[in-house]
Amino acid sequence: MLHVRSRFFSVPSMALCAIAAVMTIASATVLMARQPGAVAEPPEAAATMPKVPPLPAGTPQEMMEFIDSLKQANVRPSSRKEMIAYMRDVATVSLQAADKILAQVPPADPMHDRAAKMKLESLMMLGRFGDEKAAADMAAYAATLTNSPSRELAKEAQRLVLVGEAQTVLSTGDVKAGQGLVEKMAAMLAADPDDMQSAGLAMQLAGAFEHMPDGDEVAAAAYRSFGPVMAKSSNEQIRTMGEGFAGTLRRLSLPGHPMEISGTLLNGEPFNPKSLAGKVVLVDFWATWCGPCVAELPNVLEQYEKYHKDGFEVVGISLDQDREALEKFVNEQKLPWPILFEESKGDGWQHPLATYYGISGIPTVILIGRDGNVITLNARGEKLGEQLDAIFKKAG
Taking the chain (396 residues) in runs of 10, the rounded mean pLDDT of each run is 41 45 28 33 51 93 94 83 90 96 93 94 89 91 92 89 86 89 93 92 88 84 92 91 86 94 94 96 96 95 96 96 93 96 69 87 94 94 94 77
DSSP assignment of 344-395, as one string?
--SSS---HHHHHTT--EE-EEEEE-TTSBEEES---THHHHHHHHHHHHHH
Q: What pLDDT was estimated at residue 120?
A: 92
Dist CA 391 CA 396 (whole Å): 9
- What's the pLDDT score for residue 2? 46
* Contact assessment for residue 372 and residue 278, using Cβ atoms and an 8 Å cutoff: no
Amino acid at the residue 192: D
Residue-wise pLDDT tens digits, 125-151: 898 888 989 989 998 999 999 999 888
| Cα dist from 386 to 78, 376, 393, whole Å | 44, 12, 10
Helix (H) or strand (E) holding 242: helix 236-252
Q: Give pLDDT, residue 34.
A: 29
Predicted local distance difference test score (pLDDT) of residue 26: 25
- At residue 167, the pLDDT reads 82
With a CB cutoff of 8 Å and minimum separation 6, the contacts of 340 are 261, 263, 264, 265, 266, 271, 315, 316, 317, 318, 351, 353
> Strand runs (DSSP E) across the chain, as ranges?
3-4, 280-286, 312-318, 339-340, 361-362, 364-368, 374-376
SS3 content of the chain, % helix, strand, coil (to 5): 55, 10, 35
User: Any bridge partners for residue 318, and if so which?
Assistant: 286
Rounded Cα distance, 14 and 120, in Å: 8
Q: How far apart are CA 219 and CA 378, in angstroms?
A: 14
SS3 303: helix
Report the distance separating Cα 135 and Cα 208, nearest Å.
20
